[in-house]
Chains A and B, each alone.
Chain A
Amino acid sequence: MEAQNSTKSTTREEGPSSPSKVACTETRKVQVAVNHGQGYIWDVRDVWHLWRNCRMVGCLVGSLPRHPHQSCTLGLPLRLLPEEVTLLVEEGLGETVRYKEMEEKPSQTLKDTFSECRERCYKEQVQEAAIQRREQVKRMADKILEGKRKKFLIKQKEKNEEVNGSETNGSVEEEFTLTREDVIQEEEAKLQPLPQHLQIVEVFTRHPLLDQLTTERCPWPYPTTQEERVRYKVFCDLWHQGHYLTSGIKFGGNFLVYAGDPHLYHAHAIVRCVREQQLRQGGEVDLVAATRVAASTKKTFVLASLDNDGQVRYRSYHWFEEVEEEEEENMDENDEEL
C-alpha cells in the first residue's frame, strides 16, 4: 500500500498541470467539474483517489474505450452524487470547478497549442512506427532469411534443370551468401515513414488542454430543501462511520450501504431518509413494500431520520414470514448491525 502511494505521488508530481503540486499530494484536491448542475470527475487519478482513499464510489456514465457498445462496465466520466460533492467540499478533499472557456469558441492560442500537440504526436508516431517495424524485422529476420534461401534454391534448381546437360552444378550453391544482417538492412532500406492518413488520433474524453483554461470556483448549493438536508446529514453520518454509499434508486431507497468496496461486495442495507413529520404520519403500506423488497434482496431496510437534536436515528426493519407479514421494529440507535 505504502509503496503504491509513493509511486502515485511521484507520477502526480510530474504533472505540470496541477498548480498545487508543491503541497503534499495527500491534500491535492479532487477537481469536480460541474456541468449543468451535476458533478463529474474526468481524471482517472481523481477517480482512483476517490475510490482508494475517500470511500466515494460515484457512478460511471461514459463508454469504456476498449468496448464501447455494452453497458456492464462503463467508463469515464464518473458522475458523483450531489451528497458526495458536498461532502468532498466540506471535508476539503475536493473543490467544484468550472472552466470559463469551455463553452466559448476556442481562442487562437488554444487552437495553436492543439495543432502543435497533434503534430508532435504524429512525429512521435512516425518514430515509434519505425522502431516497431525494426523490431518486427529483427524478430522475423531468421524466417525471412530462411524463406529467401528456399526461394533461391528453387530458382537454382530450375536453372540447373535448364542447363542440366551442358554444365555441372557444383559452383552454384555457394552463391547464397546472404546473412541475417543483410536481410535486416535490406528491410530497413524499404522502410517508409508512417503516412499522414494512417496516424492514430485520440478521441478525447477529458478536455485535452484543461490546464490552459481558466478555472473558476463553482458554487455548489446542494442541500437546499429540507429533504435534501436530511439526506445529506444521513450520508455524512454513514460515511463517517466508514461505510461505502451509492445511490439507492435501484432498490427504491436513497442510498445503498456497503461494508466494503462495492467493487467486491454486495450492499447490505437500503437506507431511506425521511423527515420526522413523515415518520409520524406513518405510511405502513410503503414500509411493508420497502421491507419486502429488502428481504427479497437479502438486505436490511433502514429508515433514517433526524431527531430533535439534529442527530441521525436509524430504524431497521426486518420482515419475518413466520410472523405473518408483521414487521418487527428494532431500534438501533447506533446502527451497530450495519
Chain B
Amino acid sequence: MKIMIAVREVLWEAGSKHGLSCVGAPSARPKLMYAHSVVIPVQNMSHVGFTRRKTVYELLTENVALEFLFCGPYMPNCWTHGENVSSGEELLRVRNRDQTLLPSSEKVDEAMGSWMEEKMVESRLQEHRTLLEEPKIARKDQLPTGEWLPESQMVKLTRPGKFWHHMGVETDIGKCLYPEEAVYLIDTGELEVVYDGLPLSLQQAQSVLLQDAHHLDQYLVYSHLTRTGCKVVRHQPHLIFTKYEKDIRLDQHQASRKGTKLKLGSNKASHTDDSSQSASQCKPVDAALEELYACLGDAAVNPLTLEKNGAGSSVSTVTNSSKDKEKESWKKASQSSQEILSPHEIKRRELIEMFPTMAGSEIMCVDVEHVDLLPSNSIPSKKSYRISIEALEYYSVYETRHHYHYESQSHKNRNRKESWNHSRDARWDSYGRHSNWQSRDDSYHSYGYRERERDRDNRWQHSRSQRDSYAWREDRSGWQDSANDSSWRHYNDPDCDTRFRDRFGDSEHDRWSRDRMESRDRYSGPDYDMGFSDRHSDSPQPQDRDQIDYSMWPEWKRKRRPRSRQQGRDSYPSFMVKLRTRVTSWKEYKNALAEMDAKKQLARGSTRVLWEGRTTPLLTPAAISSSASSSITSLSSTLLSCNLNAAITDVEAFRNLIPQEARMKVLYDVYLPTATYKKSNPPSPNKRIVVIRDGSMPTPGQILELTSRFVDGVVMVCAVVKDGEVRLYTFSPITLPPPLQSAS
C-alpha cells in the first residue's frame, strides 16, 4: 500500500518513518516540518481491514492525522443495493467481517475549505456509509425468535435468548417481551419477531409495536440507556425499601414473590397492563396488590374494595360445615392474594369454585350443627343464626390487638387461627399501631356501625400506603406458619377441648386451650354465643336475636372488664369505658371521657369534614372555651401535641394537591452496568426514569410530588427526548454546603 503524506496541497512521499512502506522523496523540507496528516490512497473501503487501520493509528504520533483518500470511484462492491434484500452471497461474506470499530475521529474547529479537508470529509462520509450499509445478520439456529401478539401488546418468545436474563416477563401464556424490549432486540439484530408469519423489520416494528409518538420517545430512552450497558426494566412498584428495612434485610425477603406471573389472559391483557401502570402512580404497593387481586378473579375479593363498597348488604346462606371451608378458602384467597404459590394455585382455585363467594355479602346465615357436635354447655335457641361478617371482622381485629404481644413471644408455633386473623386483618393491626387506638375505641363505643364504617374509610384513605406496605409484609410472615386444618373448627366450639385433647395429644394443645380461655368471652357475641347464653341472665332474649341491631354496641363488649383475663372466668366485664391513656384519678378519667364526648360531637356535627382524617384543627372548641382562663398553657400544650416533624414531611399533603392525572409516571427502573441484577429477586434500582411527554416541562409541584413519592432515596431521572436525542436530568434534593466560618 502506498502511503503519502500530504501537507495542505503539497504532496510528498516520505520514507518508512512510521514503519510503513512509502515511496518518493519530499519536495519540501520535511526535516524541518512535521507531517500533520497521512493520507492513504485506497481503491475501496472494504479493502482496508479495520484492525490494520487501527494499528496505523497507534503507530502515528498524535500530531499526525490519518485519513484515507479514495482515489478511485466509490464502488459498493460488497452490497448491490438495487434490492432491499441482501443476497446469500453477501450474507455469507459478512459472516467473517471485522467486528472492531474505529475510535471516533477528532473534529476540526475551523473550516479552511482546503483540498485536504474536503478529502477528509469525503472519507469520513464514506466510512460512515460503509458502516451503515452492512446488514444485520445472525445464524439461524442462534437467532432467538418471538411472535407479536397484537391483542395483548406483547411479544411471546418462542425461543428465548441470552437477553432473558434481564428482559421480559413470565406470564401465563409463556415468556413474553415488552414492545420496547422487542424493538430494541430487533434493532441490535438479536431477535426475530414474527407477525402473522412474516418477520418484522425494524421499520415495521417501530410502527406496529410502538403505539404513538410518546411510546416512540419511551423507546428511544430505553434504547439509549440499554446501549450504554444499563439494565432497564419496567418500573417495579413493590421495590420500595427504606434504609431501615434494608438494614434489617427485609428487602431480601421479597424473594418469595418469585412465582408471580403477569396475567395476560386473552383480551384483558392490555387492560391489566394499563391499570397496573396507571395505578402505580400514587399507591405503589396498592398497585401490585390490585394487580394480584385481578389475577385471582372474582372469588378472591380484594378486601380493600370490599370495605369501600360495604354499603350494600346482601344475604347469602351458607351451612355451617361449609362455612369452615369458606373461611379456609377465604384465608387461602387472602394468602395467595399476597403471593401466588404455583403448586397450590390449582387446588386453591378448585376450592374457591366449590363454595359460594362472600363477595359483597354482609350477613350470613349459619346453621347449627347437630347437638352432639356442640359444646356441652351450649344450648342453641335457634336452628340457624345470622352473622354479620363485619362484626366478625371487628372481633377478629379486637382479638389481634390482644394477641399482638403474645405472638411476638411465640412466633414459631403460631397457629392457624392467628394466621388467619393476621392475613385478613393485618392491615387493621398495623393501622392500629400507626394511629391512635384510643380514638378508635371510643368511636366504636358509641357510634353505630355505619358511622364506624365511614370513620374507618376516612382514615383508611389517609394512611393507606403505610398500612398497605405494612400489611403486605405482615401477611407474608403471618401465613407462612401453617397449622392443621381443624383449628378453625376447633376454635368454633371452645368448650369441647377435652374431646380434642384426647384426639390431638400434641403439645400445642395446651397453648390452644389457654388461648381459647382468653378469647372465649371475647368471641361470643350476642348472636354468636352459645356457651354463655345460659350464664348471663341479662343476655338478649332469643326472639330478639335474629334481629341484630347494628347501631348498638354488642352487649358482651360493654360488660367486659379490661383485666378480666387475669381474674379468671367467673369475673364479669366492666361497664367502664376503657381508656387508652393512663389515668390516676377519677377526675382525670371523667375529663378524658368528656373530651372523648366532645370529639364525638364534633365528628358528628355539621363541620365534621374538619375533624376527619389525619389533619384536624389544633384547637378544639372545648379548648378554646377553657383557654380564657389559661391561654398560655393551652397554647403550649397545643403546640406540643402538634408533631412538627410529621407536618414537614407530610407526603400525603402533596399527593392530595396534585391530581392523579397530572402526576408523572415512573416508567423504568434502571440498574447500572456494575449492579448485579437478578430478575427473580430484583434489588432496589439505581435510578427511576420518568419520560417527559411532548416536551412539556414539569411544574415544581409535580417535581415535588415525584421526589417525595418514594421513601427509599432512589434517584429520579427525568428523560427529555427532542429530535431523536435523549437528555437525562436528575431530580434529587441536595443540601447546600454551609457557608465557611471565617477563622477568628
Contact = CB atoms under 8 A, between A and B. Distances in A.
Contacts of B143: 201, 203
Given A73-B104, A263-B121, A208 B85 contact: yes
Interface in A107-144: 110-111, 114, 117, 120-129, 132
Interface string B194-212: 0111110111101110101
Given A11-B81, A48-B129, A205 B203 contact: yes
B161 to A, nearest CB: 12
Given A33-B203, A103-B207, 11 more contacts: A52-B125, A60-B132, A63-B223, A71-B228, A75-B132, A102-B208, A117-B85, A200-B88, A205-B201, A261-B125, A264-B108
Chain B, interface size category, equals 35 or more
Interface in B30-53: none
B499 interface: no
Interface of A: 3-4, 6-8, 11, 14-17, 33, 35-38, 40, 42, 44-45, 47-48, 51-52, 58-73, 75-77, 79, 81, 102-103, 105-106, 110-111, 114, 117, 120-129, 132, 196-211, 247, 249-250, 259-261, 263-266, 298
A203 B137 contact: yes
Contacts of B191: 203
Given A64-B131, A103-B207, A208 B81 contact: no
B187 interface: yes
Nearest to A194: B92
A324 B186 CA distance: 54
A123 B91 CA distance: 12
A337 to B, nearest CB: 13
Nearest to B196: A105
Contact of B131 (A17, A73, A261): A73
Nearest to B88: A124
Given A64-B131, A128-B88, A207 B216 contact: no
A126 to B, nearest CB: 8
B125 A79 contact: no
Contact of B203 (A123, A206, A263): A206
Contacts of B700: none
Contact of B83 (A15, A128, A198, A259): A15
A71 to B, nearest CB: 4
B206 A35 contact: yes
B101 A36 contact: no
B140 A200 contact: yes
B81 A106 contact: no
B84 interface: yes
B540 interface: no
B125 A45 contact: no
Interface in B116-135: 117, 120-121, 124-125, 128-129, 131-135
B139 interface: yes
Contact of A196 (B136, B140, B227): B140
B733 interface: no
B111 A200 contact: no
Nearest to B103: A72
Given A200-B137, A265-B108, A79 B723 contact: yes
18 contacts: A7-B74, A15-B81, A16-B82, A17-B83, A36-B216, A44-B81, A58-B724, A71-B227, A79-B723, A128-B92, A197-B139, A204-B199, A204-B202, A205-B203, A247-B722, A247-B723, A261-B121, A263-B128
User: For the complex, would chain B's binding face be called helix, strand, loop or mixed by DSSP majority?
Assistant: mixed
Contact of B87 (A16, A64, A81, A121): A121
A263 to B, nearest CB: 4
Contacts of B108: 264-266
A114 B198 contact: yes
A260 B111 CA distance: 6
A267 to B, nearest CB: 9
Contacts of A81: 723
B140 A51 contact: no
B220 A61 contact: yes
B73 A3 contact: yes
Contacts of A196: 140
A33 B206 CA distance: 12
Contact of B137 (A79, A117, A129, A202): A202
Contact of B84 (A17, A52, A103): A17
Nearest to B184: A63
Interface in B150-196: 186-192, 195-196
Interface of B: 73-76, 80-89, 91-95, 97-99, 101, 104, 107-111, 113, 117, 120-121, 124-125, 128-129, 131-141, 143, 186-192, 195-199, 201-204, 206-208, 210, 212-213, 215-216, 220, 223-224, 227-229, 722-725, 727
A200 B91 contact: yes
B187 A62 contact: yes
B203 A121 contact: no
A77 B203 contact: yes
Contacts of B125: 48, 51-52, 261, 263
Nearest to B73: A3
B723 to A, nearest CB: 4
A69 B188 contact: yes
Contact of A260 (B86, B89, B121): B121
Nearest 9 Cβ contacts at the A-B interface: A124-B88, A204-B201, A125-B88, A68-B188, A79-B724, A247-B723, A59-B724, A259-B111, A197-B141
B207 A102 contact: yes
B134 A65 contact: yes
B91 A125 contact: yes
Nearest to B188: A68
A71 B128 contact: no
Nearest to A108: B197
B97 A121 contact: no
A11 B137 contact: no
A298 B136 CA distance: 39
A201 B90 CA distance: 11
Contacts of A209: 84
Contacts of A265: 107-111
A266 B106 CA distance: 10
Contacts of B84: 17, 204, 206-211
A196 B139 CA distance: 10
Contacts of A38: 213, 216, 724
A199 B140 contact: yes
Contacts of B128: 73, 263
B121 A264 contact: yes
Contact of A129 (B92, B132, B722): B92
Contacts of B104: 72-73
B213 A68 contact: no
